[in-house]
Amino acid sequence: MYRLLTFSQALPLTIYHLPSTTHPYHIPHTTYRILHTTYYILHPASCILHTAYRLSNIIYFTKSTWGGHNVHPQIHTSFFLRNTSFSLPKTNPRGLKSQTPGEIYTKMAEKPAVLIIGGLGYIGRFLALHIHKNNLASEVRIVDKVLPQLAWLAPEFADACSNDKFMQADASKEQSLPRIFDRANGKQWDYVFNCGGETRYSQEDEVYKVRSLALSIAVGKEAAKRGVKAFVELSTGMVYKSDSTPSKEGDKLKPWSKIATFKLQAEEELAKIEGLNLIIVRLAHVYGDYASQFVPTALTMARIYQHLNEEMKWLWTKDLRVNTVNINDTCKALWAVAEWYAISEKPNWDAKSMGEIPTFNVVDKGETSQGTIAELIGEIFGIKTGFQGQLVSTFAKLNMDSVVDDINEEVLGPWADLLEEAGITRPGPLTPFMEKELLKDTDLSMDGTRIEKVVGFKYDHPKITKDLLQGMIDSYIKIGWWPVAK
């Protein structure tokens, strides 16, 4: 792992000089800890790269780093440590002998200022939490049409989505844009994440035109006008032609939901905006704590069939691809692509073979299918799961409206009974209601290797598991949405 450090502004930092022959693995084992990172230091005067090693919270330089270029150890200069905040001791660590601490005054470069459109939506709130927990930004503004009090926010979002960071506004309206984008210090936002747009399925076209397409175009144009360093547009893997073979970013596009149709239009319109530093992220089904779409729908239906003591049967086959990605990996990936674009300046990107607009699939490695979900749900709820035969599935394909109505009629009543028995009067956004668009015989199958190879991104949750699904249920119980089995 290698990082390039460049010089910036100023804060006390203790430096330990090592002999030029010292290799990190020669440092005594008693002080050996996080030693897998090599830093290359760019000296501002000589423009020569030097090598340094990180040991725990201390940076060690070979002697030649400073001594060979007449840099006094108490000079006022600095370097920028990306993604890292150090609090360093001023005493020689145990195990290193005959090394003289040389104090140098440094400061991290200012962290980016971040604007999140649709910041109280499911992904937006978790992105804000990721930034807050990891202290990644100098300033965060969360913009949403919905007030925090009405957004079903769990207690852990209180600080990340606090009132001082929140602005209620409709970003699709041109008259709202100056208020959204203007900052008190007169500077511009560094990163803009568009997490907004209509997320409900089966709405009228006009709803998606206004709440998704118009929103993306409006904030994209404003971001370009203001020179935003990275504009990240959230899209969906449903833009690809349905195929069990995982789709790569350059594969055939044939949207199979209304959300995807207008998201693809938004991608195309944003690509036409001159000066927009655009990155497109196409997501699989996002799941995690407090989620309310797709995977949670299956969980609520399983709770119903557990209550009814009946087998839970799925349409189509166990092989139908319904690829997934965990919410925490999603947020980590969004931040990673913004940094890759704005700070690292798009290393490993080949515009000729990959396209002018950086586009990334974000999907775990589990190749999640209906069979995957069915098996995990069966284990959690202790119910039998299976799949409808060819005859029923063929009938469903020809009579989808009536089939969806029958399914919803079968589950909505028992769900209401479960909530009443549990004394739950505010069940949140959880519902077993099944959307017609999500019952289609269409594969959501994506290849997510590009972001790993190009950006160096690594998934913390490479596949959906029983423990992760149980964690979701536990989150619903904690917030009072889930009817616990008695």
Q: Assign 3-class secondary structure to 298-333.
A: HHHHHHHHHHHCCCEEECCCCCCEECEEEHHHHHHH
Give the C-alpha distances (Å, rounded to integers) separating 244 from 122, 323, 442: 27, 10, 9
Maximum mean pLDDT: which of 67-81, 100-114, 269-283: 269-283
**pLDDT confidence of residue 196:** 96
Instruction: Determine the average pLDDT of the residues in 248-276.
Output: 97
Q: What is the DSSP letter of 273?
A: S
Q: Is the pLDDT of residue 131 over 80?
A: yes
Domain boundaries of the chain, sorted by first residue: 2-107, 113-289+326-367+446-461
Question: Confidence band (pLDDT; 50, 70, 90) for 219?
Answer: very high
**pLDDT confidence of residue 109:** 52
Beta bridge partners of 287: 326
Q: Is the pLDDT of residue 357 over 70?
A: yes
Q: Is the pLDDT of residue 292 over 70?
A: yes
Instruction: Determine the average pLDDT of the residues in 35-48.
Output: 38
C-alpha torsion 402→405→411→416, nearest 10: -160
Question: Are 288 and 243 spatial neighbours (Cβ–Cβ below 8 Å)?
Answer: no
Backbone φ and ψ for 230, nearest 5 degrees, come out as -150, 125
Reading the block at residue 68, the tokens are 């060979």
Chain Cα centroid distance, residue 274: 26
Question: Confidence band (pLDDT; 50, 70, 90) for 389?
Answer: confident
* Average model confidence (pLDDT) across the chain: 82
Question: Confidence band (pLDDT; 50, 70, 90) for 120?
Answer: very high
Backbone φ and ψ for 218, nearest 5 degrees, come out as -60, -50
- Model confidence pLDDT, tens digit, residues 412-447: 999 999 999 999 999 899 999 998 888 889 999 999
- Of 421 and 390, the one with more pLDDT: 421
**pLDDT confidence of residue 31:** 30
Question: Confidence band (pLDDT; 50, 70, 90) for 141?
Answer: very high
**pLDDT confidence of residue 70:** 35
**pLDDT confidence of residue 155:** 96
- Model confidence pLDDT, tens digit, residues 88-114: 333 333 333 333 333 222 223 589 999
Instruction: Determine the average pLDDT of the residues in 352-358.
Output: 96
Give the C-alpha distances (Å, rounded to integers) separating 276 from 186, 192, 229: 20, 11, 8
C-alpha torsion 56→57→59→60, nearest 10: -40
Q: Is the pLDDT of residue 341 over 80?
A: yes
CATH code, 113-289+326-367+446-461: 3.40.50.720
pTM: 0.79
Q: Is the pLDDT of residue 136 over 90?
A: yes
Q: Is the pLDDT of residue 244 over 80?
A: yes
